[in-house]
Chain A
Amino acid sequence: MLAIEKLSVSYGRVQALCEVDLEIRDDGVLHGVIGPNGAGKSTLLDAVCGRRRPTGGAVRYRGEDITRRSVAWRRRHGMARSFQRTSVFQNLTVLEQLRLVAQHLGDERFEDVIHVMDLGDYLDQKAGRIAYGVQRRVDVALALIGRPQLLLMDEPGAGLSAVETLRLFQHLRDLVGERKMAAVVVEHDVDAVFACCGKVTVLDLGRHLATGTPSEIRADRRVVAAYLGSAA
């Protein structure tokens, strides 16, 4: 589904991502990306979804090199993302924004997304006036409209409590499994990632450190030394 080949991104002289290789399959498994601050997790998502242009390497999506494709093109071809900082339309009601995007993407069954993200009670409310946790769900719902084949999520649990984060991750795990889609989730909450992701990739200082199942990652000495420490 998604092949990241020797991907590099620089901010001026700072190398945020250095020749990262990664493969994401559409096997219905949530793929977590973890790492310390400055590891390049969000930069990786930005480069994959077209928000930031890589300085080297390539992004292949369903076999096609899409490194220079626009963000809108990627979305129309089944690649969606949510943001670390909630990115919803504050002055539109929840229903208005979901409908606007659904009409554009030709998704006539967007009520499913409302049900899946449990937004039925908030449809007539402006997004700016609902609780932050619900706004996070609207953010993910906007990404889910159009039945994307690849879902990229940047810290969907940011600003939520540990319990809320875990609940959201369980929700996402079930959804990704049901729809047999590919999904990458960047997250700080390691417990939620280990509990709900079938595969985990660890980045450190812009480099790929390890990829494996949660138990493999927990046992990986390099990961323990660089990130997990004695807590693992």
Chain B
Amino acid sequence: MAGAAIGASGASSWRMPLIVSASALLFVIGAAAPTRFAGEFVLRLGEEGLLLGILALSVAFLMNQAGLVALGAASVYGGAGYLFAIAMSEWDMTAIEALAVSLLIVVIYAAFLGALIVRTNPLAFMMLTLAAGEMVSHSVTLEGLRDYTGGADGLVVNFKGSIFGMQAADFANASRFWIVAWSAAWIAGLIIWAARRSRLGAILRAVRENEERMRFSGFNTYAPRLTAFVLVNAIAGACGLLHVLNAGFVSPDSLGLSVSTNTLVAALIGGVDGSIGPIVGGLAFSFAQDQFGAHGATQLFTGLAIVVFIVLLPSGVVGGLLEALQPRARALARRRKDA
């Protein structure tokens, strides 16, 4: 009996091709339909939502898999934008070189910061990411660095040449950038999906649950958490680079604590368990903020929404939906089996 259980296979053979086909169809429809039917304003809100969703995806992965809440996502998101702008204007790099160097510096920064803080307990980790984020945020407004960072005014980014065949004007175009942001959300989602299903994901979950037992089972519990921290920061950095390419400028606002907390809220709204929830959360947050702003009570309604979601839908929109559907799916499977 034990042998049979050990050798049991995973999903049914027909399920995977069906999921892949449905996903491919959804990707194509999602990339094309909004550019044909939605106006520029809606597209811009959607793009902001997707970028916030990618950022939320990185935060949610760390939260869900490693039990660590990061409050410094914005420092990497905005920091990557600043690095790109400085690399273009001060270091005379091409756009591609500037992208690569910015991302590399983000990864090195994440590895260094992570090496110092991933050993700490979850509360200390949260406070340390907040502290590191605030230091980065403050440093760009320092008078001594104004020539590089533009101080409170920020920096305008107007790159020459092209990035993967797209000019600066293409990134600023709402319809074209929608396809870029939509594709990036899918790529980030697939990376996180693969990481969750990988051995890294399994080890992270086990460490989160019982770190001592993992150490007594011969595991190094430090390296997996550091790897996860670097991975999510690389995603946050790439997301920041997309933002700066689209916006054409970078300012201290993009590094602010509010971006980090909005990211956390988006992750909670969508649900931290999985790749779809945070993206849905990012989109929902972006459109809701617009509606709340139209009534002149953004903070009030946002606060109410957070309370409602945490109390009534602790697994988020996507998590709650799946929980509601699961018993029905099980009952259907049972009926088929009985028949």
**Which residues in A have some Cβ–Cβ distance to B below 8 Å?**
49, 51, 70-72, 75-76, 80-81, 83, 87-92, 95-97, 99-101, 103-105, 111, 114-115, 119-121, 123-124, 142-143, 145-146
Which of B206, B213, B216 is the one whose CB lies under 8 Å from A49? B216
Contact across chains for B5 and A123 when beta carbons are under 8 A apart:
yes
In the complex, which residue of chain B has the Cβ closest to the Cβ of A105?
B218
Chain B min CB distance to A111 (Å) = 6
Instruction: Count B-side interface residues using an 8 Å CB cutoff.
Output: 21
In the bound assembly, the distance between CA atoms of A14 and B26 in angstroms comes to: 66
**A-contacting residues, B244-267, CB 8 Å:** none
In the complex, which residue of chain A has the Cβ closest to the Cβ of B221?
A72
Chain B min CB distance to A76 (Å) = 4
Chain B min CB distance to A57 (Å) = 22
What residues on B are CB-neighbors of A124 within 8 Å? 5
Q: When A and B form their complex, what is the total count of cross-chain residue pairs whose Cβ atoms lie within 8 Å?
A: 73
| B167 contacts partner chain A, Cβ-Cβ < 8 Å | no
Which of B3, B210, B215, B218 is the one whose CB lies under 8 Å from A111? B3
In the bound assembly, the distance between CA atoms of A103 and B217 in angstroms comes to: 11
Task: Decide yes or no: A100 and B216 within 8 Å by CB, A95-B6, A111-B3, A124-B5 being known contacts.
Answer: no
| B220 contacts partner chain A, Cβ-Cβ < 8 Å | yes
Could you pull out 18 A-B pairs where Cβ atoms are within 8 angstroms?
A51-B212, A71-B215, A71-B216, A72-B219, A88-B210, A89-B206, A89-B209, A91-B209, A92-B205, A92-B206, A92-B209, A100-B217, A101-B217, A104-B217, A105-B217, A105-B218, A111-B2, A115-B2
In the complex, which residue of chain B has the Cβ closest to the Cβ of A128?
B209
Which of A51, A75, A97 is the one whose CB lies under 8 Å from B206? A97
With contacts A99-B6, A145-B217 known, what are 4 further pairs, Cβ within 8 A?
A71-B216, A89-B206, A100-B203, A111-B6
In the bound assembly, the distance between CA atoms of A87 and B212 in angstroms comes to: 8
| B1 contacts partner chain A, Cβ-Cβ < 8 Å | yes
What residues on A are CB-neighbors of B216 within 8 Å? 49, 51, 71, 75, 80-81, 87, 143
| B100 contacts partner chain A, Cβ-Cβ < 8 Å | no
Task: Decide yes or no: A89 and B210 within 8 Å by CB, A115-B2, A120-B2, A121-B1 being known contacts.
Answer: yes
Residue from B2, B205, B220 whose CB has the most chain A CB atoms within 10 Å: B2
| B202 contacts partner chain A, Cβ-Cβ < 8 Å | yes
> B264-284, CB under 8 A of A: which get 1 and which 0?
000000000000000000000
- SS of A interface (majority): helix
What residues on A are CB-neighbors of B206 within 8 Å? 89, 92, 97, 100
In the bound assembly, the distance between CA atoms of A76 and B3 in angstroms comes to: 26
Contact across chains for A75 and B218 when beta carbons are under 8 A apart:
yes
> B189-208, CB under 8 A of A: which get 1 and which 0?
00000000001001101100
What residues on A are CB-neighbors of B213 within 8 Å? 83, 87-89, 142
What residues on B are CB-neighbors of A95 within 8 Å? 5-6
In the bound assembly, the distance between CA atoms of A95 and B10 in angstroms comes to: 14
Contact across chains for B5 and A104 when beta carbons are under 8 A apart:
no
Contact across chains for B217 and A142 when beta carbons are under 8 A apart:
yes
Contact across chains for A87 and B2 when beta carbons are under 8 A apart:
no
Task: Decide yes or no: A120 and B209 within 8 Å by CB, A72-B215, A72-B218, A76-B218 being known contacts.
Answer: no
Task: Decide yes or no: A90 and B209 within 8 Å by CB, A100-B203, A105-B217 being known contacts.
Answer: yes
Contact across chains for B219 and A104 when beta carbons are under 8 A apart:
yes
Which of B2, B6, B202 is the one whose CB lies under 8 Å from A100? B202
Contact across chains for A87 and B210 when beta carbons are under 8 A apart:
yes
Chain B min CB distance to A179 (Å) = 18
Chain B min CB distance to A206 (Å) = 24
In the complex, which residue of chain B has the Cβ closest to the Cβ of A121?
B1
In the complex, which residue of chain B has the Cβ closest to the Cβ of A106?
B218
In the complex, which residue of chain A has the Cβ closest to the Cβ of B5?
A123
- Of all A-B residue pairs in the complex, the 3 with the closest CB atoms, nearest first, are A75-B218, A120-B2, A123-B5
In the complex, which residue of chain A has the Cβ closest to the Cβ of B202?
A100
Chain B min CB distance to A172 (Å) = 18
